[in-house]
Amino acid sequence: MRDVSIVGIGQTPVGEHWDKPLHILGSEAILMALQDARLEMPEALFVGNMLSGQLSRQENLGALIADHAGFCGIEAAKIEAACASGAAALRMAYMAVAGGLYDVVVASGVEKMTDAPAEEVTLALTAAADAIYEGEHGLSFVALNALLMRRYLYEYGYQREDLAGFAINAHRNAVHNPNAMFPRAISAEAFARAKMIADPVSLLDSSAIADGAAAVVVTTTDLARAQGLPAVRIAGSATATDSVALHDRRDPLFLQAAQTSAQRALAQAGVGAEDIDFFELHDAFTIMTALSLEASWFAPRGGGARLAMEDAISLQGRIPICTMGGLKARGHPVGATGIYQVVEATQQLRGQAGANQLQGCRVGMTQNIGGSGAIVITHVLERVE
């Protein structure tokens, strides 16, 4: 298999894009990524998206966006893996280039959620859970995370305020991200006072409904070098799955798929968790942040929350996370999130992260989660010297 690198990145601001339908929003990010790579046209396009059918009555996004972006004729498809759809699209692009089917492929993610009433979006999002055992019984994603968070607090003796650091860190890092949905800092007091959504999950534990699109151009590392393009290697790429329904897991507080996919991606990259300079993880809820850190070897079981309390996750900390605001504050347009994570990791590794730049970072990890841990896709990215 061939060595694969990211040579172009593009992203729209995350927010409410009432004026732009899916294909315009999606095309914008793709054209930015191609311009960044100084390339005109990919050979294939994979679009990560979860909700376009339910919320916009639009499927066939691969062909639709390929046409509108000006690539009519190329191979294209939509890839769906709930909130991990973005990283799943990148996996397909990686496979196509690593395997030698294509030399230049675009992986993108796009989601429009804000045009529909919030209750409709909440219902649509339950499609990431088990419809029969969870969705039909009214278990929304906030409710599922509330169950997990309550159990976590009980099991390890934390208070809900002990998770505040995750949200505070994300919002602090979003301040200097021009594409962030909530570019403003929040205080511990604000977190403590935040409106309760599904006890113990408050407004500030949760990511918000959002629109957005992001894209990356991938090619072989050899081609990138030959063309003199600033490249970030995909050193590791791995997907793992778990039971979709929470009650089917032996231990709901352990994200087995996160561990397996991180293990595979790290092994492929030939590095350990201790070599990771920063981690763009899937902080859709503060509890997911804690569980993701624990499953991915950055903290012992029950120790994830402690990283927040000790501020080990800040830009100056031992393992910086959500360096551009994360799902919480950059925003979480679900099918696009996995690509935003990779775009931001690429910015860090290229030294283009502005005020949030991590000094001397060399290896970053991204982790995109679909459902309450049902599918997890981890990428290890490395600066090409």
**What does the binding site for a copy of itself look like in residue numbers (CB under 8 A)?**
1, 21, 50-54, 56-64, 66-67, 71-82, 88, 91-92, 95-96, 98-101, 123-124, 126-132, 135-136, 238-244, 248, 256-257, 260, 370-371, 374-375
Stated as kind and residue range, the H or E segment containing 56 is helix 52-56
User: Least distance in Å: CB of 67 to a copy of itself?
Assistant: 5
User: Least distance in Å: CB of 89 to a copy of itself?
Assistant: 9
**Is 332 one of the catalytic residues?**
yes
Q: Amino acid identity, residue 266?
A: L
| Ramachandran area for residue 111 (φ above 0: left; ψ -120 to 50: alpha; else beta) | beta
Q: Given 17, 83, 322, 361, which residue is catalytic?
A: 83
User: Secondary structure of 24-37 in the HEC alphabet?
Assistant: HHHHHHHHHHHHHC
> Does residue 133 sit in helix, strand or coil?
coil
User: How far is it, in rounded angstroms, from Cα 331 to Cα 4?
Assistant: 28
* Cβ-contact 323, 278 below 8 angstroms: yes
User: Least distance in Å: CB of 49 to a copy of itself?
Assistant: 8
CA angle, residues 181, 341, 327, in degrees to nearest 5: 40
User: How far is it, in rounded angstroms, from Cα 385 to Cα 383?
Assistant: 6
Which residue number, 46 or 278, has a Cβ lying nearer to a copy of itself? 46
Torsion sign across C-alpha atoms 43, 15, 81, 375: positive
Which residue number, 100 or 300, has a Cβ lying nearer to a copy of itself? 100
User: Least distance in Å: CB of 189 to a copy of itself?
Assistant: 37
Q: Given 17, 171, 332, 379, which residue is catalytic?
A: 332
Which residue number, 66 or 329, has a Cβ lying nearer to a copy of itself? 66
User: Least distance in Å: CB of 359 to a copy of itself?
Assistant: 35
Which residue number, 325 or 370, has a Cβ lying nearer to a copy of itself? 370
End-to-end alpha carbon distance in the chain = 21
Q: Amino acid identity, residue 99?
A: G
CA angle, residues 37, 331, 133, in degrees to nearest 5: 115
* Cβ-contact 42, 70 below 8 angstroms: no
Which residue number, 58 or 357, has a Cβ lying nearer to a copy of itself? 58
Catalytic residues: 83, 332
